[in-house]
Amino acid sequence: MSESEKKVILVTDEGIRTDGRKVDELRPIKLEVGVLSRADGSAFIQQGGNKILAAVYGPRELHPRHLALPDKAYLRCTYRMATFSVDERKSPAPSRREIELSKIIKEALEPALFLEYFPNSVIDVYIQVLQADGGTRCASVTAAALALADAGIPMRDLVTACAVGKADGRIILDLNDIEDKEGDADIPIAMMPQLKRITLLQMDGHLTEKEFQEAINLGINGIMRIYEMQKRALREKYLKIREEVVGAEKSEPKAKNNENTNESKSKGDEKE
């Protein structure tokens, strides 16, 4: 057997994966909210090697108008990968996979939104993958939900997503690129954690009924951990805004006192 034909060991006998994680461990995740000043809402996620930006515009007038819905807003999601996001340069033209993932992400987010509040309008969600390392659809859903919350779109709950799969006979959480490509199964899951409603569930591969149940439980466990990170990212942004507002209010009386002092000085000079 040649070197190229040898099977890649994804999980060791001790349960350690190619990147040093345990089977139930998430990749390092960084979440930021309000990263784009010109968008109504925005978010950035770095999950392992994934780096993804999400921006939300709207509700606003829909063009072309024949797409407008009389009873609710039209949610339009656009998922794109930058040409430099993968090892081999990607074509700048939208691929079939990007069009498919745009539809999947839209369907994962829709149940969480009160679209009926904004009839005859559109809410645009733009997702740009700057660097891809497996699990981009789940990371995109997580970032897009944060961007929608940042835009002030009424939501039933945040939507949080995480992939779970199987490699070397073990159920593993948050697949990276090599595990996604070389593993035995991949299951992206998205849900509204507080409401315990799944909004996305796909599977590529084969699992027994017992393995499937184990995978779902592990995926939900990972989702709950990411959900706490989402809420923390939102709190951090608005605590920062609150500090800026309080700081501005405290500086205003000082400015007024300085103005009054200057006025009294000028009046005193006039009397002299």
Confidence of residue 266 (pLDDT cuts 50, 70, 90): low
Q: What is the pLDDT of residue 256?
A: 58
Confidence of residue 249 (pLDDT cuts 50, 70, 90): confident
Q: Residue 166 and residue 188: Cα distance in Å, rounded?
A: 12
**% of the chain beyond a pLDDT of 70:** 90
* Range of weakest confidence among 38-52, 106-120, 215-229, 241-255: 241-255
CB atoms within 10 A of CB 49: 14
Position 235 in a domain:
no
**% of the chain beyond a pLDDT of 90:** 81
In SS3 terms, 132-161 reads as CCCCHHHHHHHHHHHHHHHCCCCECCCCEE
Exposed (0-12), middle (13-18) or buried (19+): which is 28, by Cβ within 10 Å? exposed
Confidence of residue 263 (pLDDT cuts 50, 70, 90): low
List the strands of the sheet with 29-33, edge to edge.
Answer: 29-33, 41-47, 50-61, 121-131, 74-81
Segment 127-164, tens digit of pLDDT? 999 999 999 999 999 999 999 999 999 999 999 999 99
Position 89 in a domain:
yes
Segment 182-213, tens digit of pLDDT? 999 999 999 999 999 999 999 999 999 999 99
Beta-sheet pairing, 160-167 with 121-131:
unpaired
- What pTM did the predictor assign? 0.88
Position 245 in a domain:
no
pLDDT at 4 over 50: no
Assign residue 173 the CATH number of its domain.
3.30.230.70
Residue numbers of the domain that contains 199: 3-230
More confident residue, 196 or 249: 196
Position 236 in a domain:
no
Position 244 in a domain:
no
Segment 116-129, tens digit of pLDDT? 999 999 999 999 99
Q: Residue 29 and residue 45: Cα distance in Å, rounded?
A: 7
pLDDT at 43 over 90: yes
Query: Mean of the pLDDT values across residues 227-248?
Result: 90
Helix then strand then coil, in percent of the chain rounded to 5, is 40, 30, 30
Q: What is the pLDDT of residue 245?
A: 86
**pLDDT mean across residues, the chain:** 91
Position 80 in a domain:
yes
Position 13 in a domain:
yes
pLDDT at 1 over 60: no
Query: Mean of the pLDDT values across residues 9-36?
Result: 95
Position 203 in a domain:
yes
| Domains: count for the chain | 1
